[in-house]
Amino acid sequence: MIGIGLLGYGTVGQGLYKIVSERRDQLSYILSDEMEVLRVLVRDLDKKRDVEIDKDKLTLDFERILDDSNISIIVEVTGDLEKGYNYIRRALEKGKHVVTANKAIVSAYFEELSTLASNKGVYFLYEASVGGGIPLIKPLKDIISFNEVSSIEGILNGTCNFILTKMTEEGLSYQDVLKEAQRLGYAEEDPSSDVEGMDTLRKLRILSTLGFGGVITEDDILCDGIENISDLDIKLLKGKNRVVKLIASTYAFADGYCSIVQPRAVEVGSYFANVNLAFNSIGIRGNYIGDLKLFGSGAGMLPTANAVLTDCIDVVLKNQNLETPLRGKGLKNNNKEIFGRYYIRLDSGTEEAFEDVIIEKLHEEPLCFLTREIRLMDLLDKIASYEEGAYSIIGL
């Protein structure tokens, strides 16, 4: 019997329990053994849940899961950074395999937990942490085994993409769409980690560190979110045949790499322009594999639980390498060299200060314009010097 200890019984945890219950026979066939969720760590034993579970399985005490010798795989889906990290660390130290969907933990402790698992000879898998149901981490591990990856880019946050899609299609304001997204469950009550770009940044940190074979931390990534984007921005760019998306990208540049999360206005008809609503998509370029793009459900109960269970199956069947996939390449961050053309909106700015960068003015008050090609750092300096109100910067 393969015993699973589940930490957290929120959306993903319930999804996993549901699938394991529904697919009992199929799983037994593939695994040549029974798989069972033996215990579930919760914070409230009596809370009503959508996916019903035998109350005897619930516990408030992590130690009961850690000390249960029948539990060989710990699935961490708490959504809590520090608690979750401690659970994972202790589980690995005790020689249990760990599968997590928690991108914040993977991002914050990627090297430490990967090394710990490798040293202990157990699995630490996190397919569900990026791209939800899209098979991404496992193909990426295959790709990096002999490709040089030169770029990774994607739409990695369903909440932002839902909001931007609705703003584009319905001409509504950011605030109105955010409220609708919250009502529909596409955005959290506190949406800051999504709309400010942190969630996207963490996912990019994970993909980049794997793909580029060296440490790229959260601090190595420039980050802007979507919370300053106005309906006017969307409308003016629509007039230029472009749609706004929050794009994460890391790419080889000069003798190093650049890594950035930023709103970008991509041309209508281009690949990312057609990734809408809560869908995610990731592009990977390698020297042998060429251009690869993956598209699918970036979140949601069943797609995310699907990824978690796929990891659990790989643990049982030993279908992935036990050695850490992280490499120790020294990488040079060239973010100060990032340059491009931009759309800018300045809520209280004056045209004079920006005369040397404007190539096309799109609106008077607030001042909205397109820039010539310019280093992003120079542009940010200029805005810091001359703009006192809100503004938006959108890459072209």
Query: Quick count: other Cβ atoms within 10 Å of Cβ 329?
Result: 9
- Contact call for residues 39 and 71 (beta carbons, < 8 A): yes
Instruction: Give min distance, CB of 272 to a second copy, in A.
Output: 11
Instruction: Give min distance, CB of 356 to a second copy, in A.
Output: 37
Beta strands 2-7; 35-41: pairing state: parallel
- For a second copy, which is the closer residue by CB, 129 or 230? 129
- Contact call for residues 174 and 111 (beta carbons, < 8 A): no
- Contact call for residues 263 and 226 (beta carbons, < 8 A): yes
- For a second copy, which is the closer residue by CB, 42 or 316? 316
List 21, 26, 86, 175, residue binding a second copy (CB under 8 A): 26
Query: DSSP string spanning 276-287?
Result: -TTEEEEEEEET
Beta strands 374-375; 339-340: pairing state: antiparallel
Instruction: Give min distance, CB of 313 to a second copy, in A.
Output: 6
Choices 46-54, 133-141, 225-233, 365-373; region in contact with a second copy by CB under 8 A = 133-141
List 119, 175, 319, 348, residue binding a second copy (CB under 8 A): 319
- For a second copy, which is the closer residue by CB, 29 or 189? 29
The yes or no reply on residue 55 touching a second copy (CB under 8 A) is no
- Contacts (CB under 8 A) with a second copy, residues 145-164: 145-147
The yes or no reply on residue 302 touching a second copy (CB under 8 A) is yes
Beta bridge partners of 284: 152, 292
- For a second copy, which is the closer residue by CB, 21 or 86? 21
The contact pattern for a second copy, residues 89-128, with x = CB under 8 A and - = no contact, is ----------------------------------------
Closest CA to 258 of 217, 214, 222, 225: 222
Element (H, E) at 240: none
- Tokens describing residue 379: 């542009």
Question: Residue 60: CA atoms inside 13 Å, Cβ hemisphere, count?
Answer: 5
Q: CA 142 to CA 377: how far, in whole Å?
A: 35
Which residue numbers are catalytic?
203
Chain residues that interact with a second copy, rule: CB under 8 A: 19, 23, 26-27, 30, 133-135, 138-139, 142-143, 145-147, 269, 271, 274, 279, 286-297, 300, 302-303, 305-306, 309-310, 313, 317-321
